Structure formats: structure tokens, C-alpha cells
A and B are shown apart, each in its own frame.
Chain A
Amino acid sequence: MTPNELPAGSAAFPAAVIPRLPAESTPTVQFQDVCLSFGEVHALDHVSFSMNPGETRVVLGAAGSGKTMLLKTAVGLVMPNSGHIRLFGEEVTGRKEAQLFDLRARVGILFQEGGLFDSLIIAENVAYPLLNQHAIEQSHAPSEAEVKQRVREALRFVELEHTLDKFPSELSGGMRRRVGIARAVVTAPALVLYDSPTAGLDPITANTIIALILKERDLRNTATIMVTHRYQDGHLMANFRYNPSSGEIEPAASSQKTTRFLVMREGRVIFEGSQPELLASTDPYVQKFARPGSA
């Protein structure tokens, strides 16, 4: 379903009166004509797109083009001035902060610099969502042993089990990013948002991070939005998959079908399409982001 196919007038109603769509036809994320401005600056300018469960969106664009704001508005960290955002079919816009906690519990976020809490050790950082998210507390408050086990599993997933007792400041940038991924996926969310996961990292570490993102996506069929300025990241997302039996990343045509690219410029989505469409685009700005080695 695209934003244009929404029931007529539904956007005007608050979340409570919008009928819940059947799970299989409910888009995981839906932006409908979303605008956000800070004074004269348009951070998001009439942004519309939609993605289904298990799909991947790679958001490309220059610094300041609105990529991070796209992620922040998706989970209500910043509220748009107009338009509608739905997560799992539920309206995000217009909700109070406390009402958003349940929705956010189903979303994992990796912030640009990891967003780890400096005052907490790695184990406490990764355990934080398990211990603090209301939805998880209400449905099934995990025991101390269960929390420990899930934290270990999440850190083993990113191959950093040995850092449990360290503080974030003791880790390298790449390791902090990996711990950020562990914290984002420890609650097994249906949607994970990655904000520039490879920014400022060397190519080897960057590829390790993308491999972890592929692993999370393909092991649990997680819907993924990845903001990046590196075309290579999108290329890997669209052409590779994680093979659970070999534990390796391998080329896969199937990833092409579920991966679409968005290119943002000055708050607007100026391109949305598959990788071949991206490569075929004649727009000079889009072309800048559509070739290997571009940044």
C-alpha cells in the first residue's frame, strides 16, 4: 500500500479512530506528506514513502539533507509540523510522549555516534531497553538472569562479549557502534533504524558494521531503514545476504527485490527506486550518490 492508497480522509483523524489494518497488509513505516521546519530551514519537505515488513530502505543524501530528521520523526523524537507518520499502522503524529513508548519498544535505533550512556558500563547499556521499556515491563518483565542472558546474546551477536564490564569511553568508535547495534536489537524489534552506521569509520570496520546489519536483517527478517552517505553501504544491503548456515555474507539477488533507495536533498525525497533505477538516474545530484566510491 502506498500513501496515496490510504482510506480517504483517514489522515485527518487521530490514531484512536483509524481502524487497524490486518497485520500482513500493514506497512511497517508510512510517511505521508510530512513537513518539518526550523524557522526558515525545511528539514523535511513533503516527504512521503512507505515500506512493508522485512523490507529495506537505504536513505542517501548530503549532510544536512534531512536524513537524520527522517529517522527521528519516524519514532516521534521530533514531531513534524504537518503530515502523518504511521508505525506498524499506528499514528505517531499527535501522540503524547508517554503514548509513544509502546511503539518505540518495537523499534531499535542506532544513533550516529552510538548514543551509548557514558555513565553506564556496556552490560548496563545493552540491558537498558530490557529494563526500562514500559511495553516490555508490562507484557513480560524479564528476570535478572534472563536480562543477563539476553545481554550476553546481543553482545555475542556483535562479537563483543568480552566488553561487558567496560565503559563506552574505553572502546573504539567501531566497537561503540557495534554495542549500539547490540542495544538496538536486544529487544528483537520488528524495525531497526540505523543513522549513518559507518560514518567516520575505516572501510574494514565499516564493512563489519554492514555485515552485522545484514545479519540482523536476514536472521530475523527485520525491516530496516539505513541512513548513509556511502553508496557502498546501500550496495551491500541490496546485493548481499547473511547465510546462517555458513555464518558468512554472500551475494544474493533476493535482497534486490526488498531493498529500495531514497535520495534526499534539502529535506525533499528527490528519488525513490531500486538500485538499477538509482544507477540509471540522470539527475546530477542523484548520480553523485550512485557510483562506487561516492560520498
Chain B
Amino acid sequence: MLDFLKRPVETFQEFVLLSGRAFRNIFRSPHYADDILLQMDIIGAGSLFIVSLIGFFSGVVMALQMSRALATYGAQGKIGEIVSITLVRELGPVLASLLVAGRNASGIASELGSMRVTEQIDAMRALGTDPIQKLVTPRLIATAVVLPLLTIIADFLGLVGGYFIAATMLDITRSQYWSSAWQVLEYNDLTQGLIKPFLFAIVIALVGCYYGMHTSGGTQGVGRATTKAVVVSSVWIFVITSMLDPLFVNL
């Protein structure tokens, strides 16, 4: 009767096992520092341009849209505060993470999936290497380090985008914009702005690795694994942020 639950429960169990082994390996040798640095370059440097671009334009759009609403109350001077709070608390982490999910969860799943279907993962095991240690843990560490950094950059460029609109279209001075944007931020905002991308990074890396490592069915299977990795990690980003927000809003 409960057969329909069997597969999701099995998937969750396998995901938890993979995650447990990936975290345990952080504290076990051998450590593959070269692989961690390589992944940081691929995920961090590789995503830098697109994250910067989207960060800047989200600030631009936010300032434009909010200026109209604020004008109703004659409060356009508050534009810096609104852009700052929205970006740092929510939009920066979520947008940067969604971009990295689209770019890197798919990349991880397709790379590991291809390795799986061409027996490279079996070969790795046969040649004395734990694939989770060699492939999953470095990607987990690399994503968890670089995604918060990418978020900081996205946040800053978003504020720059907001300032661009404030200065050119709203006649707000530089000091007025930046002081309001800076002073409105509390430790609570910065904390959640950094905790969120850290958690999202763990989800993105592990979901990408899980679907990659469990790929079956040849090249079609790689395509399916890639799609699932992006969809599942994106959904979890929204689920996690929805779960975290009530905690931080009440602080």
C-alpha cells in the first residue's frame, strides 16, 4: 500500500548516507587540496561574472521599482535602506545560490554522471580511491567556501546598482545613499545573509553529487541527473530560506 513511498524514502536514505560520508571525510585523510582549489576556481571564479552581473542588475531593478512606491510617501531617501536590507537578507543569497545551482549543480551532476556511466568511478574504486573522498568532499568544501564569498560580491554590486539609480534618477547624494544603506544593517542581517548561502552551498554540492553518483542509463541518464540536480537544489533553496526566515525575522 505504501509502495509509492518506497522510492522517495530510499532516495532520502541514500542522500543522507552520501552526505554523512562526505562530511566525515572532511576530517579524514587523504585530503585532496588540489581538487578543492580546482573546484573553487571552477565554481567561484567561473561564476563570478554572472553573479556580479545579476547582483548589479537586481540592485538597479530594486531601486527603480521601489522608488515609485517610496515617492508616494515622499520617502525616496530611504531607497538605500530598502535595497540594502532586501539584498543582504534575501535576494543576494537566493539569487547567487540559484545561479550557482543552475551553473554548478548541473555541472557537478553531469561530470560525475558521465564518470559513472563510463565506469570511471568504478575504476577509481578499483584503483584504491574512495570516490566520495576524491570527488564529493572537495566539491562540498569548495562550494561552501565560495558561495558566501560570491554572495558578498553580489550584495555589494547590488548596492552599487541601487546607488547608480539613486544618483542618476532620484537625486540622492552619495553619502545619503551609502550611510542609510550601511546603518540600517544589523548583525542579524549579516548573519543570515552569510548563513543562508553557506547552507545553500551544502545543498547544491550534495544534491549535484548525489544525482551524479547515482546516474544510470547511459547518456540519457546523465541528462536526467543534470535536470534533477538543478530542479531539486533550486527547490530546496526556497524551502530552506522559507524555513530560516521566520527564525531571523523574530530575532
Enumerate chain A interface residues (CB-CB to B < 8 A).
72, 75, 77, 97-98, 101, 104-105, 107, 109, 111-113, 115-118, 128-129, 132-136, 183
Contact = CB atoms under 8 A, between A and B. Distances in A.
A183 B115 CA distance: 17
B122 A113 contact: no
Contact of A115 (B114, B120, B129, B130): B120
Nearest to A76: B125
B128 A101 contact: yes
Nearest to B118: A113
A77 B129 CA distance: 12
A129 B125 CA distance: 10
Contact of B128 (A72, A111, A134): A134
Interface centre among B114, B115, B118 (most CB of A within 10 A): B118
A72 B119 CA distance: 11
A115 B122 contact: yes
A40 B124 CA distance: 29
Contacts of A113: 118-119
A117 B130 contact: no
A175 B191 CA distance: 55
A134 B133 CA distance: 14
A116 B120 CA distance: 6
A107 B130 CA distance: 17
Contacts of A128: 127
A112 B128 CA distance: 19
B120 A72 contact: no
Interface of B: 114-115, 118-120, 122-130
Contact of A104 (B115, B120, B128): B128
Listed from nearest, the 9 A-B pairs whose CB atoms lie closest are A115-B123, A133-B128, A111-B119, A115-B119, A101-B128, A129-B127, A109-B126, A132-B128, A132-B129
25 contacts: A75-B126, A77-B125, A97-B125, A101-B128, A105-B128, A109-B123, A109-B126, A111-B122, A111-B123, A113-B119, A115-B118, A115-B119, A115-B120, A115-B122, A115-B123, A117-B115, A118-B114, A118-B115, A118-B118, A128-B127, A129-B127, A133-B128, A134-B128, A135-B128, A183-B127
Contacts of B125: 77, 97, 104
A279 to B, nearest CB: 33
A77 B122 contact: yes
Contacts of B123: 109, 111, 115-117
A109 B120 CA distance: 12
B128 A118 contact: no
Contacts of A116: 120, 123
Contacts, number: 51
Nearest to A117: B120
Contacts of A112: 119
B114 to A, nearest CB: 8
A67 B141 CA distance: 38
Contacts of B130: 97-98
A138 to B, nearest CB: 11
A116 B127 CA distance: 11
Contacts of A72: 122
Contacts of B115: 117-118
Contacts of A98: 130
Most buried by A among B122, B128, B129: B128
A201 B237 CA distance: 47
Nearest to B125: A77
Contacts of A77: 122, 125-126
Given A104-B128, A113-B118, A129-B127, 18 more contacts: A75-B126, A77-B125, A98-B130, A105-B128, A107-B126, A109-B123, A111-B122, A116-B120, A116-B123, A117-B115, A117-B123, A118-B115, A118-B120, A128-B127, A132-B128, A133-B127, A133-B128, A183-B127
Contacts of B128: 101, 104-105, 129, 132-136
Nearest to B117: A113
Nearest to A180: B123
A136 B128 CA distance: 10
Contacts of A104: 125-128
A124 to B, nearest CB: 12
B25 to A, nearest CB: 11
